[in-house]
Amino acid sequence: MGNFKNFNAILCLILICGNYVRSQNPYVWQPSVKSTFYYQTGGVLNYGVKAQIYFIDFLRNQSAVADLKNSGRRVVCNFSIGIYERNLADSNNIPKNLLGNSVPGMYQASFINIAGYQTSGVGSVMTARIDLAKQLGCDAVQFDNYDYYQMNSVTGLLLNYQIQLSYFQYLAYYARSQGLAVCLKNNLSQASDLFNSVDFVFSDTCDGTSASCNYMDQYVNNNKAAFGISYRENYLNYIVDQDWQQLCVQYILKNYSWLIRTKSQDGYSLRCAITSQSNQNIISSSSTILGNSIAITLFAFVIIFTF
Ligand SMILES: *[C@@H]1O[C@H](CO)[C@@H](O)[C@H](O)[C@H]1NC(C)=O
Ligand SMILES: *[C@@H]1O[C@H](CO)[C@@H](O)[C@H](O)[C@H]1NC(C)=O
Ligand SMILES: *[C@@H]1O[C@H](CO)[C@@H](O)[C@H](O)[C@H]1NC(C)=O
Ligand SMILES: CC(=O)N[C@H]1CO[C@H](CO)[C@@H](O)[C@@H]1O
């Protein structure tokens, strides 16, 4: 009997059960580890990047989804679930009595009280956004700007770990039931608890030595892709200040998919990647902009990048 059970468990692993454990809908897309991606948070979308996956602000450029899909890209549709932004088509659907303080450094944005999301009206605004993402053809949703449970003095709200976790899980479950994959953005302190609720992970806050990056290891080790960005002050520093190369090597060895870019949306990004050249020890970093290429030797590796 014991053996029979084990046999079933093994069959289950080999066949489909992994998918059932992973999600409510076994047909959601899951990016493979080390997929190439491009991420742009504002400005005019750079449409010409050679990347398998685009992360975009889909509520502000809905036509981009179909255009990117038609060119063979996968599209991750990003939107805020924890802040109110005045200039969106559905902004007025968020009840004003749920707004906390203004978000420092963000134009006309306020924190939303997510406690009671199932009855307060916030949950339904967000599930409607998920419905729109599905209708437009997004492959995945990325929930942004919600990880504030340790910032009650800033938000003016009374949030806690459990409220935030349950809100995310509720929306993730809904997205997957609609056939969309779910990306966890930042907030890596809940990464373990959210592991079964999401399909891949993204961070632009863990940089280099930050211990929070290590939360991503659990994902890659279980075939869930980890994407990230490290920001550098300006483009020239890519060449002058070579610390990004060490970051690249570190992330390549961890099988993360990583970009180094400027904070301003000027389109310059470097991609950390392994070349498929004959020499497997060659590690290269290539920018998302095609053009001239330069090779730099770093340690035992050759770093190649183009811009
Ligand atoms: C996602 O949306 C939020 C809120 O609009 C924004 O701050 C962030 O930069 C966006 N990221 C992308 C990839 O569009
Ligand atoms: C919206 O996306 C299209 C690609 O579909 C792009 O050509 C256009 O520049 C984008 N608009 C903005 C404001 O980014
Ligand atoms: C990275 O992926 C390769 C297979 O592509 C694997 O052999 C290696 O162990 C992985 N490294 C880590 C740190 O997971
Ligand atoms: C608890 C925790 O680690 N929260 C972090 C979530 O991510 C944001 C960045 O998006 C950090 O500022 C928080 O410290």
Order of strands across the sheet that contains 53-56: 37-39, 53-56, 74-80, 140-144, 181-185, 200-203, 226-232, 257-262, 269-274, 283-287
181 closest CA partner among 67, 19, 14: 19
CA distance 77 to 180: 10
Tallying the residues shown for the chain, one arrives at 307
- Find tokens 């420092």 and name the residue: 104
CA distance 141 to 65: 12
Ligand 3 pocket test target in 32, 213, 218, 255 with most atoms within 8 Å of CB:
255
271 closest CA partner among 256, 287, 291, 248: 287
Task: Answer whether 250 contacts ligand 4 (Cβ < 6 A).
Answer: no
Looking at the CA of 143, name the nearest ligand: 1
257 touches 267 (CB < 8 A): no
Question: In tens digits, what is the pLDDT along the chain, a chain of 307 residues?
Answer: 344 434 333 433 433 343 334 445 667 999 999 999 999 888 888 888 888 999 999 999 999 999 999 999 999 999 999 999 999 999 999 999 999 999 999 999 999 999 999 999 999 999 999 999 999 999 999 999 999 999 999 999 999 999 999 999 999 999 999 999 999 998 778 999 999 999 999 998 877 667 778 889 999 999 999 999 888 765 544 544 566 667 777 888 889 998 877 777 655 677 776 554 433 333 334 333 323 333 333 333 334 343 3
Atom 2 (ligand 2): residue with closest C-alpha?
64
Q: How far is the CA of 108 from the centre of ligand 4 (A)?
A: 21
Looking at the CA of 41, name the nearest ligand: 1
CA distance 296 to 262: 20
Domain with residues 32-232, CATH architecture:
Alpha-Beta Barrel (3.20)
Task: Answer whether 61 contacts ligand 2 (Cβ < 6 A).
Answer: yes
